[in-house]
Amino acid sequence: MPSWQDFQPFIVSGLALGGVYALSGVGIVVLYRATGVVYLAFGAVGAMGALIAWSLINHAHAPQWLAWIVCILFGALVTLAYGTVFGPALAKRPPLVKAVATLGLMLVLFGAMDLLWTTSGGASRALTLPTDNDTFMIGQVQVNYTQVIALALGIVIAAATGAFLRYTGLGTAMRAVANDREIAGTLGVPVRRVEAVAWFGCGVLAGAAGLLLADLVALDATTLTFLVISSLAAALIARLRSIAWTVVAALVVGLVHDLLTPIQSLTNYRDMTPFVLAALALLALSGRQVMSLSREEA
Amino acid sequence: MASLSGVAERARGGLRLRRPTGASVRHGIATVLALAVALAVLPQVLSLYYIDAMMQVAVYAIVALGLGVLVGRVGLYSLGQAAVLAIGAWVAARILFASSLPFPIVLLAAGAVTMVLGTLVGAPALRMRGLYLALITLMLAGAITVVLATTNFPNGGHGFLGYNGSLLHIPPIRRPAIATSDPAYFRYAVVVAALMFLLVLVHLRTRPGRAWAAIRQSEPAALAAGINVTLYKLWAFALASFITGVAGGVLAGAVHYLYSIDFQTQDSITLLAVVLMGGAYSAWGAIVAALLLELLPAILHNAGVSADWLTILFGVGVLGALTTAPAGIVDQFPKDMARLGRLLTRLARQLGRRRPALERGR
């Protein structure tokens, strides 16, 4: 068993990872609550944004801030475009079909990324943020500002989103649409516009998460695309409803994942953390199945 | 209540003796022809490269059929079928290295073990429905991928896992004595696939098939009609796991060497994509799905086109299938052809009408 010393750095990195999972999880939950879509292309959009940013910096020699903005905007615009085209077309289908449709977008982006940024034989890419080099010490652990930003952004975004949904008119409209699209429309809520805002916001978070994960984990299309499953785990533990629980679950998933790293016998299995935690939580929380006549209540 | 009476009617309709209709006779003839071509013609005319690809098609047709039963017949979306296939392949490889049992017995054993595992995992997951079930199968597939990456596939080593990382000479996974060459093993795979299709069709024609149809229409109505919903859902899971496990065994023999890197989470997603594109409601859809998944990449690879274009195509295909053609290519293609035919005849007729007018004008 490794000593407490060995675990300390992983607490920091785990919390940072958890922060990004929280950021992504909140994006997924908000979009699901507003539109009923579980956005499985979340990771792919962020990954492609990050790769575009990498190309801008390394090939077009663009300033870094511009590349970051392009990354976030790319996420937002692709997500908004998908939502505008396929959102209304699939609005009346069960949540399952809506979720599977986003897999289509994910495959398109995934194929495009593999095509444009070939991995085989090429040197591995890296996207580093300048905050990586600014460090300070907590006890004996070195912490860099990217990690601080990741954790802080996760929590701040979650709090801001919660407040937005609760206190603003648009937030109220979003909750109304989430409750019942038809009735909200009848009462004069501009359903399409509200949904567009949700798609756009989710896309911004996807771009930001892609940027941070590219720095914290790796700039690799496959890794980043399927990291969405980990954030999804946090959202699932919160049953796709509670933003607060999403944040808590995301931090726990990130912490457990990184704290398993120094334990020799488990380190190879640490990537299972989100799956196992989500599966256990879902099975424990599902309780007695209540049957209703609606074909899909999810 | 409308859906309830619909279910009852459906159940009664299923009980009636089926008289062979024109459509079913046509299907029968098409099946016999397809089998004859696959068994007699293809191994003669195809190069080894394409025979290899067609072996994979036979394997994945079984997998796609299993997923088609889950998605199309019962309405259970599984995003983890590639992981189930990996389990089948693992079990088969382990038994093949450990014993000299005849190949068909090994296939059955691989199917049975996979069925037990699939059902054990599926039983608690079935408390969840719809979206949650799909997402939890995605999670489980991810978990299985991680485990396989660590344990690796058996390569003739000792111990329970049968993996030895320092083996210099890795023995190939054996094939049945009657089918050691590639064309012979391809025939073997086609026969196994045909048997699995038969097994599924028997299920669809009898009580479980009717129960699944009722469940897909409406779970509460099925329950009210006296159908044990949980039992039949588990049954569907068990059947799909069994045939996917058998397919895993066939795959193990086909490739000779198994590597965990070849089984990724995204395979499960691509699999669902092609099943939706091919058509989840028919057995032909499973074959189309397998051709899309395994033959098309082989053709493109031969032509020097990147397989990434296929991934993109599959993505577009999923979106297209879900928005415009819910029953897949198998259903949509004849309709589109018929529409094209009508359009052409109408054009021809218009042209025919115009020509005399033109001639008169002249």
CA A239, A244, A247, A250 torsion-angle sign: negative
Q: With CB atoms and an 8 Å threshold, state whether B265 touches A226.
A: yes
Q: With CB atoms and an 8 Å threshold, state whether A108 touches B315.
A: yes
Poorest-pLDDT segment among B3-7, B39-43, B207-211 = B3-7
Residues A223 and A215: beta-carbon distance below 8 Å: no
Poorest-pLDDT segment among A263-272, B8-17, B101-110, B216-225 = B8-17
Among A42, A100, A116, A264, most B C-beta atoms within 10 A, so best to mutate, is A100
pLDDT at residue A121 above 70? no
Q: With CB atoms and an 8 Å threshold, state whether A97 touches B147.
A: no
Q: What is the pLDDT of residue A298?
A: 38
Q: Is B202 on the interface with A (CB under 8 A)?
A: no
Q: What is the pLDDT of residue B176?
A: 84
| C-alpha closest to that of B69 among B175, B205, B183 | B205
d(CA B332, CA B27): 17
pLDDT at residue A282 above 80? no
pLDDT at residue A84 above 80? yes
Q: What is the pLDDT of residue B357?
A: 56
When pLDDT is averaged across residues A238-265 and rounded to a whole number, the result is 86
Q: With CB atoms and an 8 Å threshold, state whether B130 touches A108.
A: no
What is the least distance, in Å, from the CA of A223 to any CA of chain B?
A: 11
Q: How confident is the model at residue B3 (pLDDT cuts 50, 70, 90)?
A: very low
d(CA A159, CA A152): 11
Q: What is the pLDDT of residue B19?
A: 56
Q: How confident is the model at residue A297 (pLDDT cuts 50, 70, 90)?
A: very low
Which chain A residues are Cβ-neighbours of B223 within 8 angstroms?
Answer: 291
When pLDDT is averaged across residues A181-186 and rounded to a whole number, the result is 87
Minimal-distance CA residue of chain A relative to B140: A275
What confidence tens digit (pLDDT) does each residue in A201-219 have?
A: 999 999 999 988 888 887 8
Q: What is the pLDDT of residue A265?
A: 77
Q: Is B225 on the interface with A (CB under 8 A)?
A: no
Poorest-pLDDT segment among A45-49, B132-136, B160-164 = B160-164
| pLDDT averaged over every residue in chain B | 82
**Would B206 be classed as within a structural domain?**
yes
Amino acid at B353: R
Q: How confident is the model at residue B257 (pLDDT cuts 50, 70, 90)?
A: confident
CATH number of the domain encompassing residue B10: 1.10.3470
What residue ranges do the domains of chain A occupy? Answer: 19-221
Whole domain around residue B51: which residue ranges?
Answer: 2-304
Q: How confident is the model at residue B193 (pLDDT cuts 50, 70, 90)?
A: very high
Residues 6+ apart with CB under 8 A from B88: B110, B111, B113, B114, B244, B245, B246, B247, B248, B249, B251
Which chain B residues are Cβ-neighbours of A105 within 8 angstroms?
Answer: 315, 319
Q: With CB atoms and an 8 Å threshold, state whether B269 touches A93.
A: no
- The count of CB pairs under 8 A between chains A and B is 150
SS (H, E, C) chain A: CCCHHHHHHHHHHHHHHHHHHHHHHHHHHHHHHHHCCCCCCHHHHHHHHHHHHHHHHHCCCCCHHHHHHHHHHHHHHHHHHHHHHHHHHCCCCCHHHHHHHHHHHHHHHHHHHHHHCCCCCCCCCCCCCHHHCCEEEECCEEEEHHHHHHHHHHHHHHHHHHHHHHHCHHHHHHHHHHHCHHHHHHCCCCHHHHHHHHHHHHHHHHHHHHHHHHHHCCCCHHHHHHCHHHHHHHHHHCCCCCHHHHHHHHHHHHHHHHHCCCCCCCHHHHHHHHHHHHHHHHHHHHCCCCCCCCCCCC
Q: How confident is the model at residue B21 (pLDDT cuts 50, 70, 90)?
A: low
pLDDT at residue B268 above 70? yes
Interface of B with A in 299-318 (CB under 8 A): 306, 308-318
**Would B355 be classed as within a structural domain?**
no
When pLDDT is averaged across residues B278-302 and rounded to a whole number, the result is 86
d(CA B98, CA B155): 10
DSSP B1: -
Among B7, B268, B318, most A C-beta atoms within 10 A, so best to mutate, is B318
pLDDT at residue B306 above 70? yes
Q: What is the pLDDT of residue B12?
A: 43
Residues 6+ apart with CB under 8 A from A34: A174, A177, A178, A194, A195, A198
What confidence tens digit (pLDDT) does each residue in B47-98 have?
A: 888 888 888 999 999 999 999 998 888 888 888 888 999 999 999 988 888 8
Amino acid at B95: I
Q: How confident is the model at residue B264 (pLDDT cuts 50, 70, 90)?
A: confident
When pLDDT is averaged across residues A77-85 and rounded to a whole number, the result is 93
When pLDDT is averaged across residues B290-314 and rounded to a whole number, the result is 86
Q: Which is more confident, A134 or B228?
A: B228
What is the least distance, in Å, from the CA of B210 to any CA of chain A?
A: 18
What is the least distance, in Å, from the CA of A268 to any CA of chain B?
A: 6
Among B129, B218, B319, most A C-beta atoms within 10 A, so best to mutate, is B319
pLDDT at residue B114 above 90? yes
Q: What is the pLDDT of residue A200?
A: 93
Minimal-distance CA residue of chain A relative to B273: A104
**Would B293 be classed as within a structural domain?**
yes
d(CA A231, CA A43): 9
d(CA B211, CA B299): 40
When pLDDT is averaged across residues B167-173 and rounded to a whole number, the result is 74
Percentage, residues of chain B above pLDDT 90: 17
Q: What is the pLDDT of residue A293?
A: 43
d(CA B290, CA B305): 19
What is the least distance, in Å, from the CA of B142 to any CA of chain A?
A: 7
Minimal-distance CA residue of chain A relative to B128: A286
Q: How confident is the model at residue B123 (pLDDT cuts 50, 70, 90)?
A: confident
Q: What is the pLDDT of residue A60?
A: 83
Domain total in chain B = 1
Of A222, A289, A297, the CB nearest to B127: A289
Q: Which residue has the tokens 């320092």?
A: B166
Q: What is the pLDDT of residue B360?
A: 56
d(CA A65, CA B270): 36
Which chain A residues are Cβ-neighbours of B135 within 8 angstroms?
Answer: 38, 99, 232, 236
What is the least distance, in Å, from the CA of B73 to any CA of chain A?
A: 15
Which chain B residues are Cβ-neighbours of A260 within 8 angstroms?
Answer: none
Q: What is the pLDDT of residue B17?
A: 47
Q: With CB atoms and an 8 Å threshold, state whether A105 touches B312.
A: no
d(CA A245, CA A248): 5
pLDDT at residue A115 above 60? yes
Minimal-distance CA residue of chain A relative to B313: A108
